[in-house]
Amino acid sequence: MALTSNFTNDVCSQHFIIRENSIVLQNGKLPGEEIVKKCLAMNVAQDWFYEKDLDYSALMLEPDSPNPAGCDDIPLREFFHTADAKSASLAARAKGLLNFKASKRYCAKCGGALHDDENFTARTCVQCGKQYFPQLEPAVIILVNKGDQLLLALHKNRNDGVYGCIAGFVEIGETIEQTVEREIMEEVGLKVKNIRYVGSQSWPFPDQLMLAFRAEYESGEIKIQEDELRDAQWFSRDSLPKIPPPGSVAHNLISGYFD
Ligand SMILES: [Zn+2]
């Protein structure tokens, strides 16, 4: 599979037009090819490619460009939540690969310019031929329960009063179970047991694979890591605080979507 960026007579059936973390829709549906062509003609596309094998194209709009005529945009996470599973997955791929292309522009070995590889979903150095493949950052997100109470935390960088789950990146050398235990201990000072994987979600903001877990409280008193959190509390299901919006991994975890 390879990324292609020259218009031929190939017609893809799905077109993902993305601006930062939003997706452009036409009457609530993915726009047609004519909208893609219009964006390219008007020079408002930062980047564009398609993958013929997967039958979609992806276009990144300039951040300050308006929506194409007759189109609206919605947050991508809302699209993940409302679209069918195949379109949601392709949208995540489109966004992740647009991010990859934007961030991989020069070779770390020789400084040469990178271009799309002819045979693989990769970027290749024009000077030394080194190939760069898209990389994912695995991260865990955990919903801890104590009986019928759920542990939710207010992150320091959130100003909207939304309580979410404990989350963090997998560190080199760790098993994922160790990441779960470490993150909970670091962020709220609790020991957990019965760690259970419940599902995963691509989260291309910019390149995460979120691995969702449930865990049960074992011991300890909540003591928050003040660099990261403002508050953490046990909540019963019938008196939850404001939680992250539908489509987010945390919402899916708290609402039981993964169970
Ligand atoms: Zn190179």
DSSP assignment of 86-121 equals: HHHHHHHHHHHHHHHHHH--B-TTT-PBEEE-SSSS
State the pTM of this model.
0.89
Angle at 49 between CA 43 and CA 55, to 5 degrees: 130
CA of 45 relative to ligand 1 center, distance in Å: 27
Span between the terminal Cα atoms of the chain, in Å = 34
Query: How far, in Å, is the centroid of ligand 1 from the Cα of 22?
Result: 33
**pLDDT, tens digit, 9 for 90 and up, residues 192-241:** 999 999 999 999 999 999 999 999 999 999 999 999 999 999 999 999 99
Domain with CATH 3.90.79.10 in the chain: 137-254
Query: Ligand 1: distance of its center to the CA of 128 in Å?
Result: 4
Please, what CATH class does the domain formed by 137-254 belong to?
A: alpha beta
What ranges in the chain are assigned the alpha helix state H?
33-41, 76-82, 85-103, 176-188, 249-254
The whole-angstrom separation of Cα 78 and Cα 82 is 6
Pairing of strands 149-155, 114-116: unpaired
From the CA of 240, how far away is ligand 1's center (Å)?
Answer: 52
> For residue 47, how far is its CA from the centre of ligand 1 (angstroms)?
22
Q: What is the pLDDT of residues 78-124, one digit of tens each?
A: 999 899 999 999 999 999 999 999 999 999 999 999 999 999 999 99
